[in-house]
Structure 1
Amino acid sequence: MTWRRSLARLTSLVATTLAILALAGQGLSASAAPEPALETPTSTLASALTCPTTFTHPDREPVLLVHGTVSNAAESWGWGVAPALRDQGFDVCTVDLPDYSRPDIQVSAEYVVHAIDAIYQSTGRKVDVVGHSQGNLQLRWAVKWWPHLQARVDDMVNLANPANGIVGGSAFCIVPCIPAATQFSLGSRFLDALNAGDPTPGPISYTSIYSLTDEAILPFTTAIVDGAKNISVQSVCPGRIVTHVGFLYDSVAFRLTVDALSHSGSASPGRMPFGKCLDVNLPGVTVAEATAATAVVVAAAGVRLVGGATAWVEPPLKAYAAG
C-alpha cells in the first residue's frame, strides 16, 4: 500500500503545482497588458524624425528634442539648442509633431513613441529626451502609456513645462481653440489622466526647469512635477529674466540641460561653473540672432493659434487612458 500512498501524494503535489502555475500565469497576463497600438501610419511617423546619418558619439546617449505648441523642430531647435548640443558632443535628433503640434496631444505623442523606439533600435543605447513647452506633455504621455519606453529613456529634461495646466490655455479656450490648448488648460481630462498615479514612472531621471518670469507658464508652480528635480532659473541666478521662448537660447537653462544629460541622475545646480550667471545666451547664439528667432517664433505663433482646426470641447481620452 506504500506505493499507493506515494502516488496519491505525488498526484496531490502535481495538482497543487499546476494550480500555483495557473494563478501565476493569471498574474503575469494581468500585469503584462498590451500597450496601445500606434494609430498613425509608420511611414508618417518615420518621415517626422530627423537624425544624423550616423551616430558618432557612442560615449553619450543620443538626444531627442521635442518642440512645443505652434512651432516645429527647425524654428524651436535648429538655430540654437541643437547645434550647441552637437558642439558639446551629442548626437541630436528632432521630431516634427503634426500640424505644428496643434491637434490632439494623444495623437502627437505617437510621434514621440516612434522616435524613441527608432533611435534606440538604431543605436542600441538609451535615449535622452528634452522637451519645450507642450513637447513635455507628449514626452510624459509617451512614457506613461507605453511603459516599455521607461527602459529606453535615460534622462528627461522638461523646459517650461505646462505639467498641471496653464491659465493661458483656459483663457484662450473660452472660444473654440486648437485641440491641444483644451488639453493643457487647467482641469482638463487629459492632464488628470497624465498626472494620475506616478507622474515620473520608471528609472528615468527627470529634471523640470522653469522660470518665474515665463509669461506662458502661469502659474509657474504648474511646472513642478512630483518626483522630478524641479529647478527654477532664478534659484540658480536670482533676478534673471527668462521668457517662454527664452528657454530656447538661455545659457543657464542650457547648462542645466547639459548637466542632466552628462551625469547620472537629474541636473544639479551645484555642478554649474563659476560665473554661470554672466552669459545671457547659449554658446553660438548672439543677441541679434536670439532677437530675430524670437520674432519669428512669436509671429508664427500668432498666426497658427488662430489658423488651425478648432473645437469647443476637449478631445475624448483614448480608451487606454480612460480607465
Structure 2
Amino acid sequence: MPTRRMVVVLALVTLVLLGAPQVARGAGDPPLSIDPAAALAALHCPATLAHPKTPVLLVHGTGSTVEESWTHTFAKTLPLDGHDVCTIDLPQRALVDAQISAEYVVVAMHTMAGRAGRKIDVVGHSQGGLEPRWALKWFPSTRSLVDDYVSISSTQHGSADADGICTVGSCAPSVWQQRTTSQFLKALNAGDETPGDLSYTSIYSLTDEVVPELPPPSTSRLDGARNIALQDVCPGRPADHFSILWDAVAEALVMDALDHPGPADPARLGAAVCLGVIAPGLDAADVAYMHTVALANAFQTTVVTGPMSSTEPPLKPYVLATQAAAAPSPAPAAGGPPAPSTPAPSPRANAPMVQGKSLAATGGRAPLGGAAALLGLALALKRMKRS
C-alpha cells in the first residue's frame, strides 16, 4: 500500500501537472488579458477526442449559452456524424467585450488541438462567428490549429438591428461592437478577412430578422470564403436567425464543409436536400425549445437585463499598435491646406434592401417575423425601464 508520504508526493506532482494552464503562444501572438483557467472552466469537452472525424468547437452567439444555442442543435447532430464536440460558454452570455470572449476561443482552440493531437474545426453562430475570426486574425498561432471555419448567420459586417438597439441609450458592449460602423468590425475586416491556410464557409439566410442580409453585399459574406445563402440552394426557403440552427439544409451544408476538403459545396448535396425540414437527429421538442426558451432568453438578456454600456469598448493595445504602424505618414504641407478628400462610397452604405424592396418602399421597416417581433418588444421594455 502507498505510504502517506507517497500520497502527498503524488498529489503535489498532480498539482504541478494540472495547475496553472499553459496556452501555447506563437511569436506573433499578443499576451492574453484573461486568466486561461477561466476559459478552461468554460470549455466543455468529452473525456477523449478520439473519434476519427475532426473534433468541432461550437461558439454561441449574443445573449445565449451553450445550452440554448447548441444542446438542441449541432451538439446533438455532430456526434451522430462522427465528430467529437466541444463547446465554450462565453463570459456573461457573450455580452461583454468581444475581444475578451475571443481570448476564450484562443484558449479553447489550443486546448482542443493539443488534446486531439490534430487540427480542429470551428463552427460559430451569430456573434459566435466573430470571436474565432478575431482569434485567427490577431493570434496567428491559431491558424495552424484549424482545418475548417464555418459561420452561421454571423454579423461579419455588422447588423442593422444592433444599430437600432444602441440608439436607445446604452446597450451591451458586444452589441456596440456589432454595429455596422463599429471600430471592432473595422479592425476585424481590415485587410485579409480570411487569413491562414484553412477553409472558410459562411452560411446565412436572406430572411434573417436579427442579422438582416442587406445588400449589396450581404453582411454575412466574407472575402475569400465560400458564401452560401440557404435560398441559393433551395429558393424560397424560410429560415430566421434561430431556425437556421435546426434547419436541414443548413445542417447539410455544415456537415459538407466539415467532412470534405475545402469549404462547403452545395453541388454535393443534391436536390433532395430541399425536401428536408428539421435536421436529422432533431425532433419537434428541439425546435420548440429553440423558439421558446432559447429565443426569449437571448432577447431578454441582450436588450433588457444584460450588462449595458454607453460606449463601444476600446480596441486592445495590440490592435491600436498595428493600426498605428499601418497608418500612412502625413504629407508635408505645400502652399496651403489640401482640399478635403471625398471618400468613395462603400457598397455597404448604399440604400439598404429587404427581400428585394428598399427600406423606403417598406415604410422604413423590415418585415417582422418571430425574432423581430421579440426585438421590438424588448426595445419597448427597455424604454419603459429607462422611463
TM-score bin (small chain) = 0.7 to 0.9
Could you tell me how far 1:274 is from its partner in structure 2? Answer: 4.1
Report the counterpart of residue 91 of structure 1 in structure 2.
Answer: 84
Could you tell me how far 1:186 is from its partner in structure 2? Answer: 1.0
Tell me which moved more, 268-277 or 135-144. 268-277
1:217 maps to 2:230: no
Report the counterpart of residue 200 of structure 2 in structure 1.
Answer: 206
Report the counterpart of residue 74 of structure 1 in structure 2.
Answer: 67
Report the counterpart of residue 149 of structure 2 in structure 1.
Answer: 156
1:171 maps to 2:155: no
CA RMSD, Structure 1 to Structure 2 (Å):
1.2
Q: Which sections of structure 1, spanning at least 5 residues, go unmatched?
A: 1-31
Is the 8 Å Cα contact of residues 131 and 158 (structure 1) preserved in structure 2?
yes
Is the 8 Å Cα contact of residues 158 and 209 (structure 1) preserved in structure 2?
yes
Is the 8 Å Cα contact of residues 101 and 180 (structure 1) preserved in structure 2?
yes
Could you tell me how far 1:61 is from its partner in structure 2? Answer: 1.3
Could you tell me how far 1:192 is from its partner in structure 2? Answer: 0.4
Is the 8 Å Cα contact of residues 65 and 94 (structure 1) preserved in structure 2?
yes
Q: Distance in 1 between matches of 2:225 and 2:271?
A: 25
Could you tell me how far 1:288 is from its partner in structure 2? Answer: 4.1
Q: Distance in 2 between matches of 1:89 and 1:288?
A: 23
- Superimposed CA distance per residue, residues 167-200 of structure 1 (whole angstroms, 9 cap, x where no aligned partner): 1111100110000000000111000000001000
1:119 maps to 2:106: no
Is the 8 Å Cα contact of residues 63 and 94 (structure 2) preserved in structure 1?
yes
| 1:243 alignment partner, one of 236, 240, 243 | 240
Report the counterpart of residue 21 of structure 1 in structure 2.
Answer: none
Q: Which sections of structure 2, spanning at least 5 residues, go unmatched?
A: 1-25, 324-387
Report the counterpart of residue 313 of structure 1 in structure 2.
Answer: 311
- Superimposed CA distance per residue, residues 116-166 of structure 1 (whole angstroms, 9 cap, x where no aligned partner): 000011011101000000000101001000001111100000100110111
Q: Distance in 2 between matches of 1:273 and 1:287?
A: 25
Is the 8 Å Cα contact of residues 167 and 219 (structure 1) preserved in structure 2?
no
The TM-score, its normalising length taken from structure 1, stands at 0.88
Matched residue type, 1:98? P
Matched residue type, 1:149? T
The TM-score, its normalising length taken from structure 2, stands at 0.74
Could you tell me how far 1:289 is from its partner in structure 2? Answer: 2.8
Q: Distance in 2 between matches of 1:291 and 1:238?
A: 25
Q: Distance in 2 between matches of 1:189 and 1:249?
A: 32
The correspondence of residues 1-323 of structure 1 with structure 2, limited to 5 A, is 34-57=28-51, 59-174=52-167, 175-220=169-214, 221-305=218-302, 306-322=304-320, 323=323
Q: Distance in 2 between matches of 1:171 and 1:293?
A: 24
Q: Distance in 2 between matches of 1:271 and 1:74?
A: 31
Matched residue type, 2:77? A
Could you tell me how far 1:33 is from its partner in structure 2? Answer: 5.4
Is the 8 Å Cα contact of residues 171 and 309 (structure 2) preserved in structure 1?
yes
Tell me which moved more, 308-317 or 96-105. 308-317
The share of aligned pairs that are identical, in percent, is: 46
SS of residue matched to 1:163: coil
Matched residue type, 2:88? V
Q: Distance in 1 between matches of 2:28 and 2:237?
A: 46
SS of residue matched to 1:213: coil
Could you tell me how far 1:273 is from its partner in structure 2? Answer: 3.5
Tell me which moved more, 47-56 or 32-41. 32-41
Matched residue type, 1:319? P
Q: Distance in 1 between matches of 2:138 and 2:64?
A: 25
Q: Distance in 2 between matches of 1:274 and 1:166?
A: 31
Flag the structure with higher helix content: 1
- Return structure 1 stretches of 4+ with deviation > 3 angstroms: none
**Matched residue pairs, number?**
291
Q: Distance in 2 between matches of 1:260 and 1:311?
A: 37
Is the 8 Å Cα contact of residues 207 and 213 (structure 2) preserved in structure 1?
no
Could you tell me how far 1:308 is from its partner in structure 2? Answer: 1.7
Could you tell me how far 1:99 is from its partner in structure 2? Answer: 0.3
Matched residue type, 1:197? G
Tell me which moved more, 218-227 or 150-159. 218-227
Could you tell me how far 1:283 is from its partner in structure 2? Answer: 1.2
- Superimposed CA distance per residue, residues 262-299 of structure 1 (whole angstroms, 9 cap, x where no aligned partner): 00000000000441011111112223430232211121
Q: Distance in 1 between matches of 2:105 and 2:42?
A: 10
Tell me which moved more, 279-288 or 65-74. 279-288
Q: Distance in 2 between matches of 1:173 and 1:219?
A: 19
SS of residue matched to 1:261: helix
Could you tell me how far 1:81 is from its partner in structure 2? Answer: 1.0
Could you tell me how far 1:312 is from its partner in structure 2? Answer: 1.2
